[in-house]
Amino acid sequence: MRSRKPFLWLIDKEWRELVTSRAWWLLLLLMGPLTGVSFIGAVRTYSEVSGLNGTSAGVGEALAPLIGVWVPTFSSLELAAVFLLPFVAIRIVGADRQSGALRLELQGRVSPIARIFAKAIVALAGWLVAMAPMFLAMVLWLIYGGSMYPPEMASVIGGHMLNAGLTVALGFAAASITEHPSTAAIVTLAVTVGTWILNFFAALQGGYWERAAAYTPAVMVSSFGHGLVELNAILVGLLLVLTGLGIAAIWQRLGVRVSRRLLESLLFVGAMSAAIVLSSFARANWDLSENRGNSFPLADEVALRGLRSPLKIQVNLAPEDPRRADLERRAFSKLRRVVPGLDIEYSSATGIGLFEQTREGYGELRYSVNGRSSTSRVTTAEGVLESIYETAQISLPKDVHETVFRGHPLAVPPVGAAALFYGLWPGLVLLAGLLVRRKYR
């Protein structure tokens, strides 16, 4: 034991502090029922759509477990990351200050940044343990005979780990800057609510707000949750995590003047912001979903990649016009992935578009490419593609051999899930909590 390096002693200490904290055990306890509610609900709906109890069979052919089961089931993790994990993170940092341990540990040979990293490692390990009910849900699904596509599951889990990293980093920074954990909790929740406001604002205003909102935890999780892995989202997410941890480390140094810590924080945030802006230009992305739900058919992608000059699309739709959201989801998000020189410009006189419907040109999409232009009002993905091919004078791509996703309908009730998530899991957590807390004392 004594031959361990100081950093490993710190990891040991942080782990002990975590497993003897009530906040973490409460998180573990609640994860069972939270997962249970979402998983059982999702499986029932999926089963009904797949033909259980006489529902018309065949509808389920279009069903993907990712969308039908895992997106709703993992939403409980998002809830826990917003409302439970911040308190665990704040406790990990704030308790040291409250108990006086921070003043002792700062006199050790481990730097503040290493201290914060040790805490982050333990917090994320604690989060992985808290994800155990999710892994149990996956096992249950396989037992039911459900299909699981590992790449898309990796994307979902990776997204939630990144989200947890963001929450932990935010909680650490707030707990380091503020004197008291309750203030840190308010700051953390305020930032979270701020990201929601940003999303709301982005929906209304579009433009740069929309670009910024793409990196809020909710949007990033949603992207990963649909199997879309974007390099810029990963880089920006990791840089945001590093920013939070760095700020936490700066403010842990009680022996440094507040004015200097403030200056260092501003310089650090400035440098990280520049890195974040640069990272946002990274274009690599991967559609890991089994049904390629984030992509056009392969033949269309090949044709679109062949566009020689920039493609510009002017869209006369207000931010709150439902057609605009449809266009974004079904066509433009897929288009951005394959057309490098894509320039989409929205224009509208109002936010809701209700009184613009009669305005000449409202609802029109103007395409410009290769010095030619055309106008259309069609907002379906197929319509958008046809307009692009027509404007660019590209012949419609021939069908190429592509595996068609037929869906994985599964009409089974969630047998045993209620007992597992509402009874067995809480019971095991309570028992383990008692045993572990006793062992570590």
Tokens of 430: 């309570």
Minimum separation from the CB atom of position 23 to other proteins (A): 12
Tokens of 386: 């046809």
Minimum separation from the CB atom of position 180 to other proteins (A): 16
Minimum separation from the CB atom of position 120 to other proteins (A): 18
Given the complex with other proteins, which of 135 and 440 has the nearer CB atom? Answer: 440
Contact present, 158 and 143 (Cβ < 8 Å): no
Contact present, 78 and 221 (Cβ < 8 Å): yes
Phi, psi of 311 (to 5 degrees): -105, 125
Mark out the alpha helices in 131-149 (DSSP H runs): 132-143
Contact present, 441 and 20 (Cβ < 8 Å): yes
Given the complex with other proteins, which of 23 and 236 has the nearer CB atom? Answer: 23
Minimum separation from the CB atom of position 251 to other proteins (A): 13
- Binding residues for other proteins (CB under 8 A): 1-2, 4, 6, 9-10, 12-13, 16-17, 20-21, 96, 99-101, 103-110, 254-258, 260, 437, 440-441
Phi, psi of 292 (to 5 degrees): 50, 45
Given the complex with other proteins, which of 43 and 90 has the nearer CB atom? Answer: 90
Q: Classify 205 in phi/psi space as left (phi over 0), alpha (psi -120 to 50) or beta.
A: alpha
Amino acid at 118: A
Contact present, 73 and 36 (Cβ < 8 Å): no
Q: C-alpha distances in angstroms, 110 versus 100, 176, 405?
A: 17, 17, 53
Minimum separation from the CB atom of position 24 to other proteins (A): 11
Given the complex with other proteins, which of 105 and 264 has the nearer CB atom? Answer: 105
Minimum separation from the CB atom of position 183 to other proteins (A): 20
Print the SS3 string covering 5-58.
Answer: CHHHHHHHHHHHHHHCCHHHHHHHHHHHHHHHHHHHHHHHHHHHHCCHHHCCCC
Minimum separation from the CB atom of position 261 to other proteins (A): 9
| Cα separation, 170 vs 191, whole angstroms | 8
Closest of 289, 303, 319 to residue 391, by C-alpha? 303
Phi, psi of 310 (to 5 degrees): -60, 145
Given the complex with other proteins, which of 10 and 29 has the nearer CB atom? Answer: 10
| Cα separation, 388 vs 340, whole angstroms | 14
C-alpha of 215 from chain center: 9
Given the complex with other proteins, which of 109 and 401 has the nearer CB atom? Answer: 109
| Cα separation, 14 vs 18, whole angstroms | 6
Minimum separation from the CB atom of position 115 to other proteins (A): 11
Given the complex with other proteins, which of 330 and 437 has the nearer CB atom? Answer: 437
Given the complex with other proteins, which of 1 and 404 has the nearer CB atom? Answer: 1
Minimum separation from the CB atom of position 118 to other proteins (A): 11
Given the complex with other proteins, which of 67 and 118 has the nearer CB atom? Answer: 118
